[in-house]
Amino acid sequence: MGKELRFLIGIVVVCGCVLVANADYMLYKDPSKPIGRRIKDLMGRMSLEEKIGQMVQIERQVSSFEVMKKYYIGSVLSGGGSVPKENASAQDWVDMVNDFQKGSLATRLGIPMIYGIDAVHGQNNVYKATIFPHNVGLGATRDPQLVRRIGAATALEVRATGIQYVFAPCIAVCRDPRWGRCYESYSEDPEIVRAMTEIIPGLQGEIPPNSLGVPFVAGKEKVAACAKHYVGDGGTIKGINENNTLIDWHGLLSIHMAGYYNSVIKGVATVMVSYSSLNGVKMHAHQQMITGFLKKTLRFRGFVISDYMGIDKITPTMHGNYTYSILHSINAGIDMVMVPNNYTEFIDGLTFLVKNNFVPMSRIDDAVKRILRVKFVMGLFENPLADYSMANYLGSKEHRELAREAVRKSLVLLKNGANADEPVLPLPKKTSRILVAGTHADNIGNQNGGWTITWQGVPGNNCTVGTTILSAIRNTVDPKTEVAFKENPDVEYVKSNEFSHAIVVVGETTYAEGYGDSLNLTIPEPGPTILTNVCAYVKCVVVLITGRPVVIQPYLPQIDALVAAWLPGTEGQGVADVLFGDFGFSGKLPRTWFKTVDQLPMNVGDPHYDPLFPFGFGLETEGIN
């Protein structure tokens, strides 16, 4: 009897040990297991508090190790201009991101957070990063493979700063250039926008065979991408930011939805919802479009994220109650909410709604599964912390050469002399004296435009490192050619000096959405005065630095050659490469260039189409390379 008892006790002890061992084994941490099983295992361990925490994205300014740990925060972001410190290095960024990540890893289940940033034309918040042309310029290249290479370079520079998630690409189809985000749109043509979704495999990596529609991020040198802003953001009335888009179902699918089909097929990890309304319904509360169409019809399996304080925009048009905004945005299908500051109010509000059955638990589980799926796919559980090993990618020579190539290919030649037999461009490198004038000739901030270092952009030459167009001209001409620079020359100066020709570089001041909405689309002073003072007296090449077509018709007779350079970024050398003939002009207009703003909106195919320069226009020249 004693032996039997001891044997039974032994079984209990052994079984107890086995049970304890199984309890300690966390399947979700085992990378050899299928992602579906890992998600199910982790979800089964999570409390409501932990699940809601995963649905929250907060600003870095209110984040800390303690906040991440206490509230189980799923994600952190840097808004435009939100940086660890002025001119922060890659190492500074890595240290900050890792500190937040360590807070997440210190939680009961150790679920890593994901850090997001608006890397919309390079890692543009970061000092010394390579800044590529904005999307409107890339649309002019008609080169999806170039855009894919830019995506890959951007991913490396983002990862160099310890960040794993970018709020890009913007796949808006801008139908009215009065919109302040128009430069973030590749084109008015949905087919060009669709083609440029090739940036997604550049950012995330090539999706494996038989995985269409499943989120995919290929390792530590790639980032999660975000197709934005779903849907119709480029079609608002008069191009007013956050306004209403009035459109029928066929128009919505054929124009504004075009890029989303391809983005989902290419495995985009996330989709961001638009501030705008669709036929009077705020997109952040549009259940039919988010859950019904995006998730069910298109079978998108990544997570849906709000825009910055996006759900707050629901309230003013409805009941003036933040809880109401939480209710309708979450039930509409938004999975992660960019709060970004009042996160406790959001957490308390959503917890109340779930506990009182206003938001079903199934909706919370759907959101958290999607967020976890992206984190598992990215390998965040295996590699949550960054190191300094990729720091040299930031602003690397290779990436700057790529940006320079993109600038060359983005330039659109709109006029080249009075006739084809007397072209002005390319310019001779060897001549007596060149005048360079204009507010944008020696201004790296104006050259970069908005969403560079800060949200609205920073004029001047102290914002970041790059090559201005003036410097590029001086680098390119013969050493014996004198380059005289005067930003705003008066008529007497122009007339009293013997210039062989002049290069005038003018354009828009820096802006982003809201502040950039413009109903007149004119070049601000002193741009027009400079054009008049110079072009009336010297053979004149005008280079426009703008995010969209602007009013130029009144000045066109005085201008000998006209170049649309868009917002070229840090590598102004690409402009000089083409002006002086090392490379030829090849860019084509991604947008219709109007005669007067009274014609707007006007897009290719419209019955009232009467442009100054039609969509697709662009003169070509031969280069020596």
Helix (H) or strand (E) holding 576: helix 573-579
- 501-507: strand order across its sheet: 412-416, 561-564, 540-545, 501-507, 433-437, 482-486
CA distance 415 to 169: 31
At position 42, the amino acid (one-letter code) is L
Are 187 and 168 in contact by the 8 Å Cβ rule? The answer is no
* One-character DSSP codes across 94-116: HHHHHHHHHHHHTSSS-PPPEEE
Bond before 256 cis per omega within 30 degrees:
no
- Which residue stretches of 506-561 are H helix? 527-535
Does residue 460 sit in helix, strand or coil? coil
- 75-78: strand order across its sheet: 165-166, 114-117, 75-78, 56-59, 337-338
CA dihedral 278, 284, 288, 289 (to 10 degrees): 70
At position 391, the amino acid (one-letter code) is A
Look at phi and psi of residue 515 and say left if phi exceeds 0, alpha if psi is from -120 to 50, else beta. alpha
194 contacts: CB under 8 Å, gap ≥ 6 = 258, 259, 261, 262
CA distance 213 to 619: 39
Are 161 and 108 in contact by the 8 Å Cβ rule? The answer is no
Closest CA to 547 of 241, 145, 186: 186
Beta strands in 537-592 (DSSP E): 540-545, 561-564
Count the neighbouring beta carbons within 10 Å of the beta carbon of residue 533: 22
- Which residue stretches of 505-611 are H helix? 527-535, 573-579
Are 274 and 241 in contact by the 8 Å Cβ rule? The answer is no
Look at phi and psi of residue 279 and say left if phi exceeds 0, alpha if psi is from -120 to 50, else beta. left
Are 182 and 174 in contact by the 8 Å Cβ rule? The answer is yes
CA distance 609 to 351: 53
Task: Classify residue 439 by its DSSP letter.
Answer: T
- Which residue stretches of 357-463 are H helix? 361-378, 397-410, 444-448
At position 519, the amino acid (one-letter code) is L
Q: What are phi and psi of 619, to 5 degrees?
A: -70, 155
Q: Do the bridges between strand 433-437 and strand 482-486 make them parallel or antiparallel, or are there none, so unpaired?
A: parallel
Count the neighbouring beta carbons within 10 Å of the beta carbon of residue 385: 13
Residues in the chain: 625
Are 265 and 256 in contact by the 8 Å Cβ rule? The answer is no
Beta strands in 348-447 (DSSP E): 412-416, 433-437
Q: Which residues are catalytic?
A: 307, 513
